[in-house]
């Protein structure tokens, strides 16, 4: 299990854009499970939406991408790389994610090469599906460890 401190040793993201609190399962280069607590005090809720706060879908996908990046970048041969979005396919949102909920994330790496890969993932709240999608990523120099 990895906590935020250990996640930061793999990912170059920092607050307020680190959207992963814990990695509970990790099979390097293959799959991962993790959690993100949706903090009711987060600044985006002031505008999304003022009287009906909803965790933005693009940030849900970003949280999943960060989990996928941990699964790829934790491998020694990937040290110093940066995982970047290359595309999204078949993304479907099933339920709203609200402040105070914990997003349960799961990603499986379908294909990974030296500079490109695919991951299939999903998010849920209390076991109820929230979203799913196919993530395409590119690997570039520029990460830090």
What is the predicted pLDDT for the residue at 137? 97
Helix (H) or strand (E) holding 88: strand 81-93
With cut-offs at 50, 70 and 90, classify the pLDDT of residue 144: low
CATH number of the domain at 56, please.
3.10.129.10
In whole angstroms, what is the distance from residue 101 CA to residue 131 CA? 14
Q: State percent of the chain over pLDDT 90.
A: 92
Structural domain count, the chain: 1
What is the predicted pLDDT for the residue at 56? 97
CB 26 within 8 A of CB 32: yes
Report whether pLDDT(63) > 70.
yes
Range of the domain at 22: 4-141
Across the chain, mean pLDDT equals: 95
> Mean per-residue pLDDT for 33-51?
96
Any idea which residues carry the catalytic annotation?
Answer: 48
Q: Is the alpha carbon torsion for 104, 109, 114, 117 positive or negative?
A: negative
Report whether pLDDT(143) > 70.
no
**∠93-39-13 over CA atoms, to 5°?**
80
């Amino acid at each position: 299990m990895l906590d935020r401190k250990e996640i930061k040793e793999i990912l170059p993201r920092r607050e307020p854009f680190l959207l992963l609190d814990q990695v509970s399962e990790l099979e390097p280069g293959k799959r991962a499970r993790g959690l993100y607590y949706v903090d009711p005090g987060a600044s985006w809720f002031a505008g999304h939406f003022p009287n009906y706060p909803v965790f933005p879908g693009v940030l849900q996908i970003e949280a999943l991408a960060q989990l996928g990046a941990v699964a790829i970048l934790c491998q020694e041969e990937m040290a110093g790389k940066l995982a970047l979005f290359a595309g999204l396919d078949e993304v479907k949102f099933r339920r709203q994610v609200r402040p105070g909920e914990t997003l349960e994330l799961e990603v499986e790496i379908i294909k990974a090469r030296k500079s490109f890969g695919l991951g299939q993932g999903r998010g849920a709240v209390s076991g109820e599906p929230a979203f799913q999608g196919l993530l395409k990523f590119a690997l570039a120099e520029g990460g830090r460890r």
